[in-house]
Chains A and B, each alone.
Chain A
């Protein structure tokens, strides 16, 4: 293992706090991966307040990548930038770019609708639509013009099985989704996100409103999705990050501080700041 000469911990943190861009420590293991999503020199400001600073984050295909960091460090903002959800907010300025499977995300002439269809997103708070369970799951296909009932039903079943929800709801697919329990609703949202077989699945604290049992199920689900799907997940739960993810990126004040294989980051990080955060000494 190569020995990096890391600057003293407080210096890096105060440099970040001052808004200076400090390049992230990226572990060499990542160089062997095939990347599906590349974030390059990405800056984002809400109005005059800059939230993301020169973020460089390659996300490997077929792996689960976790984003951790203290509250307000810009994890959600970064995640929402990937499928351009920030377009919905006024006064957002962006520089830099991302590429999804080689295609630019923020370049000229990008069809945002088309882009979003290549990704699935699960939000912190479950947000089922006011329609039947079946229509919720097949929503992405329906708006894409899929009318064939057989196809829709099959996708619905596959997605619900994928989200470990089929056994609970298969006999009430035509009932309103709003009548489900909170945990079921969140798994429904996961089913909805994977129904259209997205290239990348974006999850923003998907378990924060769930009980331990539902959390376990969602975690099992993420582990099952690994390989077929690329998952980018934001979490505040260190155990969860270590359980489900292959790679972890530690963010602080709008910058990626350290990024590497989860096991290494958690047991033997390159930076003292990362260790401090993970062990709960600050954050």
Chain B
């Protein structure tokens, strides 16, 4: 080099493009954008979903109008009021509002308070603007308790007495609460036990202890109490049945339904997909016909999933299921047994939906098996099927597993077709239980994806359901992640078994 330079040789300046730098940045940017979107989506869901069960402070806001709002603060925000908002206020309120606007850059602060006590108030939530609160009216009372109930949603009030069979056994907040805490609650509670509370409006309200799932003093929780409350709510969420139109309680049936449906789908789709790919790649004569079949299969992956749902409903539920009913369950007609949505039809529909994924992945895996291996097997006198079974399939197994994993991820997150073939808002029974024949393929089932849709768009109490949407989304993503991780672990074990790569 030194010689060349001393001879006056200089390397022609390579253009930026020739050295490839811009492509590094461009491709890197592509990755970054993709990652950023994924990470921010996951982070958003996680941040919103993880805090749902963390207990909030309980506010008692005495308003200038004389109304007292009492409940958990679920959200705090600033908003810019428009003229009509201000003109609807009375003079004193408008004064305070205008004062606040002047100091607060044109914005007003308000809090969304979950006031509960639905049977009395007829509302679940109430916006409390700061200017409406009477001076000194913002309080966090020590004895204000939160009760989570079997029905009617949460209750906020101050305990005044504890009654057994109509007799007052404990009087005053401290004694009543101590008596309540000492005993069992929910379905374990004895009959006739009642907690008497006073509401924000000063009204007395008797609540049966057997109706109470959980009760705590919202402003008297230390860090450990909050944590144990959080854990206990998660526990309930993961193991219990839903209550209150799914906005309270657990999602266990949905978790169970999701997993059973996904595994069922995988069990159905993998053998079919592998068989189809085997025929296409190993037996069929490669030509225009196989190309057409391949293109069609790839196009199948682009068909909207709802179309599969319609097909599943029409073909599986009505035609196949209807025929099964007519033959085997004629005595139950007109009530359908198989002739309506069910977990088996849902699994089959999703199997159809994910079939292209499995076929394409398997075909690629088969194509990647070196032909020298096949030749070696044939040279040993193996038949075609022996070669496929003993050499080609084991070698292609990791690739086939990849296809199964992709299919599983696709199927577990699918909602639209499920609505037509058996996913329901509330399923009375699990598809797998202790009554003969243990697996009930005809039963409708709950599914986390459908649950999310139901919470987000069908709920009566949408404010209460909203945080649950994120929590459930988080859970669904966690389950998909778990299923994938399990399959990847299995694949890596198989890969290690079949292909060491030391050289």
Contacts and interface: CB of A to CB of B under 8 A. Distances in A.
B291 to A, nearest CB: 16
Given A176-B497, A176-B500, A88 B391 contact: no
A176 B380 contact: no
A154 interface: no
Interface in B352-383: 370, 372-383
Most buried by A among B373, B500, B501: B500
Given A113-B383, A143-B380, A88 B375 contact: yes
Given A131-B390, A143-B386, A121 B379 contact: yes
Interface in B370-409: 370, 372-383, 386, 390-391, 394-395
A175 interface: yes
A83 B381 CA distance: 9
B223 interface: no
B377 A129 contact: yes
B391 A116 contact: no
A127 interface: yes
A181 B381 CA distance: 26
B394 A113 contact: no
Contacts of A32: none
Task: Identify whether the interface residues of B are mostly helix, strand, loop, or mixed.
Answer: helix
A116 B499 contact: no
Given A129-B391, A131-B390, A116 B502 contact: no
B380 A123 contact: no
Nearest to A114: B381
A11 to B, nearest CB: 39
B9 interface: no
A131 B500 contact: no
A231 to B, nearest CB: 15
A16 interface: no
Given A130-B391, A131-B390, A178-B498, A196 B378 contact: no
Interface in A172-228: 175-176, 178-182, 189, 192-193, 196, 202
A134 to B, nearest CB: 14
A230 to B, nearest CB: 16
Nearest to B286: A90
Interface in A116-162: 116-117, 119-121, 123, 125, 127-131, 139-140, 142-144
A85 interface: yes
A130 B381 contact: no
B184 to A, nearest CB: 58
A255 to B, nearest CB: 25
Interface in B460-503: 497-503
Interface in A207-262: none
A129 B381 contact: no
A202 B380 CA distance: 11
Given A139-B390, A143-B380, A182 B503 contact: yes
Contact of A123 (B375, B383, B500, B501): B375
Nearest to A115: B381
Contacts of A116: 378-381
A143 B381 contact: yes
A69 B449 CA distance: 68
B169 to A, nearest CB: 73
Interface in A55-77: none
Contact of A85 (B375, B498, B499, B501): B375
Nearest to A139: B380
A180 B503 CA distance: 7
Contacts of B501: 178-179
Nearest to B395: A130
Contacts of A127: 370, 372-373, 375-376
A155 to B, nearest CB: 13
B499 A178 contact: yes
A130 B394 contact: yes
Interchain residue pairs A-B with the least CB separation, the first 9: A179-B500, A117-B381, A121-B379, A127-B372, A127-B376, A130-B498, A116-B381, A140-B380, A130-B395
Given A129-B395, A193-B379, 14 more contacts: A85-B375, A117-B380, A120-B380, A123-B379, A125-B372, A129-B373, A130-B498, A131-B391, A131-B498, A140-B380, A144-B381, A176-B498, A178-B500, A181-B502
14 contacts: A117-B381, A121-B379, A127-B375, A127-B376, A129-B373, A129-B376, A129-B377, A131-B390, A131-B391, A131-B498, A143-B381, A143-B383, A143-B386, A189-B376
